[in-house]
A and B are shown apart, each in its own frame.
Chain A
């Protein structure tokens, strides 16, 4: 009977041929390391977010009077509501961490170079969309931390002369963070950003699949790649099939990601829940030390350091543009970063600077 089903599908879709060509024949270069799986693990994190987010949507109330109470109800009254909420919160932070590691490893391996520039650009946009998800998401519980951290971040556009205030008011729906901001961010988080994210990630995954995985430049099978003058799928001197070998690698890394998520939930449940995050928002009462989330600490600290507001924010915007379009700036064909000490040096300095600013932002007054 099982065979009959398979035959039926075979006549209509030609599944065997599909699996054979797309999955088994699809080759992956040997010497791929675990960093190669980070992309799909990040995607798995997104799927976890989407599922838990959808479940949270069933009980969450996006109104300033009820938001905090509805989140508390999810944590205490709804059966296993705490589970859904905690997974959503931990996986969100892990997803950002994974994204950072993913793009650092891509940079390190020079996998953004021709013909993969658009892939990098799409990836950069995905990072920005994810950060927008995070920003709009953590206002939703309407806690002290939500309210005040959003107040700070929504004041950043005021750094621009002339259009600054208008921009900030557009973001917030008013002069200050109110219930209107809450519903605005909610519609962003739930309605607008998911389709944007999915379309860009669709493009990103299509490009990765179409061009083929890059060969690790530091591996033994790396060789001089000839000029890309016309389209061809990447070829490898040594490779193994995508299915089942590479797919199993991806599955194992996804399992590891989930294990880490539950580890944090068991042993460090308050890692992302400072006291201010479990107190309802009070617009009249600023808590002693408001800080944005860890991934925003470095830009925040940089802005605090630079005395000129406009300069600070412009530098950051220039940095973002350079980051997004980097493959178009750096077009030298050499992918082995060890053979490019200048770029490697700058890369390490910037990385160290990011850690320093984040640490400083965390512990400064």
Chain B
């Protein structure tokens, strides 16, 4: 009897229990665990957070106050480049140790510094093997090797601010520096239709991705085709390009057919799901009517 009375009294202040628990825990944690900086350090700065990106030794020096003006602008040029987006940074082209500032420009770590005008194709060709091969045999390549003049890679593509290729890299301003634009124009026309097709397929693939599809095979196929096509361009030989255009067009066409098939499949799925939705909505309506008729 006494126990139940006591229990009753204790239980009647249960809300105070909750409140006291909250206060106790708040005080304890505020006292012991710390403030926003610790939260930021432990939660926001985890490796998977996008806030912190490891800066390489190269970038640290080249963005510092004591660096020469003409070198200081390089990291920001690079940061907006297509290379930067694909994690290709300083040491991938220039060598050196990107993690150790003392060895960042050491020849022992393969540092090559700023290359001469005529050495540039070799530097880019370290990765872009296929293109180097075609370039060296082309009119442009021969002009560079034999006469020391003629365009190298950065003439058309830039050095640190390399962007994704676009057919308008071939333009009157750039190409008429050494010879009449007429030749370049013919080449541009030869490339035009294929490039347009490539662009359309890229847009279709982006569309498919938005619709929840993972068009892995088509994307790889497209990349291979456009890489082969653009590598071929570097022979700067219009007859070769025109010759091979049919081959590339048929490859692109088969990719387009695959994509069309996928769009048709998506459309079928939508129709099927809509049919099911209507059937079930209809069943719902009928059962509701049956209920009404029974009441």
Contacts and interface: CB of A to CB of B under 8 A. Distances in A.
Report, as a range, how many residues of chain A touch the other chain.
35 or more
Contact of A329 (B18, B48, B269, B284): B18
Contacts of B276: 258, 262
B290 interface: yes
In this complex, which of A249, A290, A311 has the most chain B Cβ atoms within 10 angstroms of its Cβ?
Answer: A311
Given A259-B280, A275-B209, A158 B290 contact: no
A266 interface: yes
A269 B272 CA distance: 13
B26 A311 contact: yes
Contacts of A273: 212
Interface in A281-313: 286, 288, 290, 307-311
Interface stretch (A9-17, A197-205, A213-221, A314-322): A314-322
Interface string B16-31: 0010011001100110
A208 interface: no
A345 to B, nearest CB: 15
A75 B263 CA distance: 14
Given A311-B29, A329-B14, A82 B269 contact: yes
A322 B18 contact: yes
Interface in B53-85: none
In this complex, which of A155, A248, A259 has the most chain B Cβ atoms within 10 angstroms of its Cβ?
Answer: A259
Nearest to B35: A307
A105 interface: no
Nearest to A155: B46
B291 A249 contact: yes
Nearest to A265: B273
Nearest to B11: A331
A83 interface: yes
A250 B230 CA distance: 63
A310 B29 contact: yes
A interface, by DSSP: helix, strand, loop or mixed? helix
A192 interface: no
B34 A308 contact: yes
Interface in A236-280: 244-245, 248-249, 251-253, 255-256, 258-259, 262-263, 265-267, 269-270, 273, 275, 277-280
B243 interface: no
Contacts of B294: 244-245, 248
Interface stretch (B36-44, B106-114, B127-135, B158-166): B36-44
Given A252-B291, A308-B35, A308-B39, A148 B280 contact: no
Contacts of B212: 269-270, 273, 277-278
B26 A255 contact: no
A151 interface: yes
A252 B34 CA distance: 54
Contacts of B39: 307-309
A311 B42 contact: no
In this complex, which of A255, A256, A322, A329 has the most chain B Cβ atoms within 10 angstroms of its Cβ?
Answer: A255
A161 interface: yes
B29 A308 contact: yes
A322 B210 CA distance: 42
Interface of B: 14-15, 18, 21-22, 25-26, 29-30, 32-36, 38-39, 42-43, 46, 48-50, 209-214, 216, 269-270, 272-274, 276-277, 280-281, 283-284, 287-288, 290-291, 294-295
